[in-house]
Chains A and B, each alone.
Chain A
Amino acid sequence: MITQVESPILEIHDLTVSYDQSPVLWNVDLSLPVGKLIGILGPNGAGKSTLIKAIMGLVPVTSGYVKIFDRELKEVRSRISYVPQRESVDWNFPASVLDVVMMGTYGKLGLFHRPGKKEKKIAMDCLKKVGMQSFVDRQISELSGGQQQRVFIARALAQEADLYLMDEPFAGVDMATETAIFQLLQEMTAAGKTVIVVHHDIHSAMNYFDWIIMLNLHLVASGPKADVVTEELLRKTYGGKLNLLTKVTDIIRQKDFNPLKN
């Protein structure tokens, strides 16, 4: 069940990614609509994080390509925002909440230029949007998980982009924070932004997302949630007839080279 879209904001064509001679993503082919809240679901190791990283150009692609706003990544970087996984950073780093959020403005500032009043105002506004304005000078090592997550989102907001990619923003976060963040995301999509989120929980996904992508090494489904969340597709995503595929993956690993490389 893969629905394609006319004039998509994001288009992925035959994307294959491999880590260390093992394929992690196979032949992903999809297109995504503007202004929707899109969720990516799948079991552990399905390649969800890899998909986001591949779109952001953080991992090398074995074959296929990605087009954003119908252009290549490097032309439109300033219009895309990224929220990485919370554990990808050492939160012991000596920075304040404001410092981190201001980092979102550095892309537009350019090399050597110092952030000024304008950047500070943007950062403060973004902190307000995530409800963290009273934490401005707090050291990030003193924050709870939910607060850290909100800081990351505020940083992404400070990039002032049109497309937002978020990797597991709700992992290990309390209910209040989760609800608050989803509300924010829905406000953003109402304002015309597109938000793509890697998520881990099917049930909340049904409530929050407009469009759902189901991934398990390959693309199982991509489309409006009502069409996509069926029992059969869930089975194909989370369990099911993939033993042959796993066998092939094992062979590839054993033979120590990857036939899926160009």
Chain B
Amino acid sequence: MSFDQNAFLIIFTASIISISCGLLGVFMMLRKMSMTGDAISHAVLPGIVIGFFVSGSQRGLEVIIGAGILGILATLIIDWLKNKAKVQLDASIGITFTLLFAIGIILINMLAYKVDLDQECVLYGEIAYLPIDLWITNSGFSMGPRITYLAVLNLVLVTAFIFLLYKELTLTSFDENFGLVIGLPAGAINLALMSMVSYTTVSSFEAVGAILVVALLVVPPATAFLWTKKLTSLIKLTCALGIFIAIAGYYMAYLVDSSIAGMMVAVGGLIFLGSALFKSIKPKLVFGTSSPNKPLEI
């Protein structure tokens, strides 16, 4: 079988995106903020549209900045609703993200003459076009697919973020009060995490769509959590699942002739549900714990 460069590029990029989302998603899940992650990936839409409008293209830094600002705005609004206005948390999340997403859709329609964003593309992207969308430098040299570069940059930044703040993220996810007590800037760390999620959403939306970013944020970590109780294993398994989903998703989508991103999620979903079913039948199988159960030990 000859080496299909296009397929490789698509799978490679999809894997990178899955890993970025998965890494952030692990911490979102541990903080019980999976739905907030969902909210943010919807809420960034107006930021994307405005950024697009301001810069005249969807390639601009403005789009990323717009998304970042909106991610933080969404987090702040949810906080305000919950703490100052005293609205239930789930309602705060629901009201905030639907309003921001609605504004985004309205803006797309109003600014359609300058902003070429397709509603469907926003929702589920189209990574199949990736190989054609090339980054051509001023001298006419083709550097390869633009989205791939964006995805790699995103992965580098996400990895750096998690590496640098690993102990802070772990501690505040486990016991935020303790973090506050020993003087960690827990609020700032939370906002920083949300900003990374916003950035990752916008970086990935062209390929997999804003909404499917949620799936990649939530499903691989949840699946991995069914299999292991060790944090390092959790992270590794999430990444491995991400890569597998990219590969399987691509080939299945090819077989069935459907959206690649959608198929990736479907594959991830099957693995997730399958794992849950399997574990409920055979609960003792786990990866990465230190010793067998010793129930009588004090």
Residues on A with C-beta less than 8 A from B225 are 94
B-contact 0/1 string along A141-182, CB 8 Å cutoff:
110101100000001000100000000000000101000000
Nearest CB of chain B from residue A60's CB, rounded to whole Å? 11
Q: Is A209 positioned at the interface, with any CB of B under 8 Å from its CB?
A: no
**Listed residue (A82, A109, A144) with the most chain B CB atoms within 10 angstroms of its CB:** A82
Task: Tally the A-B contacts, defined by beta carbons under 8 Å.
Answer: 87
Contact B181 A57 (CB under 8 A): yes
Q: Is B280 positioned at the interface, with any CB of A under 8 Å from its CB?
A: no
A112 to chain B: closest residue by CB:
B164
Contact A103 B290 (CB under 8 A): no
Contact A137 B181 (CB under 8 A): no
Contact A94 B231 (CB under 8 A): yes
Question: How many interface residues does chain B have, given as a range?
Answer: 20 to 34
Q: Is B174 positioned at the interface, with any CB of A under 8 Å from its CB?
A: yes
Interface residues of B: mostly helix, strand, loop or mixed?
helix
Report the separation of the CA atoms of residues A115 and B167 in the bound assembly, to the nearest whole angstrom.
8
Contact A82 B174 (CB under 8 A): no
Given that A94-B230, A94-B234, A106-B184 are known contacts, is A99 also in contact with B170, CB under 8 Å in the complex?
yes
Q: Is B281 positioned at the interface, with any CB of A under 8 Å from its CB?
A: no
Which of B166, B171, B173, B182 is in CB contact (< 8 Å) with A159?
A: B182
Report the separation of the CA atoms of residues A218 and B260 in the bound assembly, to the nearest whole angstrom.
64
Nearest CB of chain B from residue A105's CB, rounded to whole Å? 9
Report the separation of the CA atoms of residues A88 and B182 in the bound assembly, to the nearest whole angstrom.
16
Nearest CB of chain B from residue A107's CB, rounded to whole Å? 3
Contact A103 B230 (CB under 8 A): no
Residues on B with C-beta less than 8 A from A107 are 182-184
**Listed residue (B184, B231, B234, B290) with the most chain A CB atoms within 10 angstroms of its CB:** B290
Contact B177 A106 (CB under 8 A): no
Q: Is A22 positioned at the interface, with any CB of B under 8 Å from its CB?
A: no
Given that A84-B175, A93-B30, A137-B290 are known contacts, is A77 also in contact with B182, CB under 8 Å in the complex?
yes
Nearest CB of chain B from residue A72's CB, rounded to whole Å? 13
Question: How many interface residues does chain A have, given as a range?
Answer: 35 or more
Residues on A with C-beta less than 8 A from B173 are 93
Given that A77-B183, A94-B234, A95-B231 are known contacts, is A103 also in contact with B289, CB under 8 Å in the complex?
no
Which of A89, A109, A115, A146 is in CB contact (< 8 Å) with B175?
A: A89
Q: Is A58 positioned at the interface, with any CB of B under 8 Å from its CB?
A: yes
Report the separation of the CA atoms of residues A141 and B234 in the bound assembly, to the nearest whole angstrom.
15
Residues on A with C-beta less than 8 A from B182 are 77-78, 82, 106-107, 159
Report the separation of the CA atoms of residues A74 and B183 in the bound assembly, to the nearest whole angstrom.
8
Contact B230 A139 (CB under 8 A): yes
Q: Is A100 positioned at the interface, with any CB of B under 8 Å from its CB?
A: yes
Which chain A residues (28-61) contact chain B, with CB distance < 8 Å?
A: 56-58
Which of A111, A114, A139, A155 is in CB contact (< 8 Å) with B229?
A: A139
Q: Is A96 positioned at the interface, with any CB of B under 8 Å from its CB?
A: yes
In order of increasing CB-CB distance, the 8 nearest A-B pairs are A107-B182, A137-B290, A94-B231, A139-B229, A82-B181, A77-B183, A93-B174, A103-B171
- A/B interface sample: 28 pairs, CB < 8 A: A57-B181, A58-B181, A78-B183, A84-B175, A84-B177, A88-B175, A89-B174, A89-B175, A93-B30, A94-B229, A94-B231, A95-B170, A95-B231, A96-B230, A100-B174, A103-B175, A103-B178, A106-B184, A107-B182, A114-B167, A137-B291, A138-B289, A138-B290, A139-B229, A139-B230, A146-B298, A174-B298, A176-B298
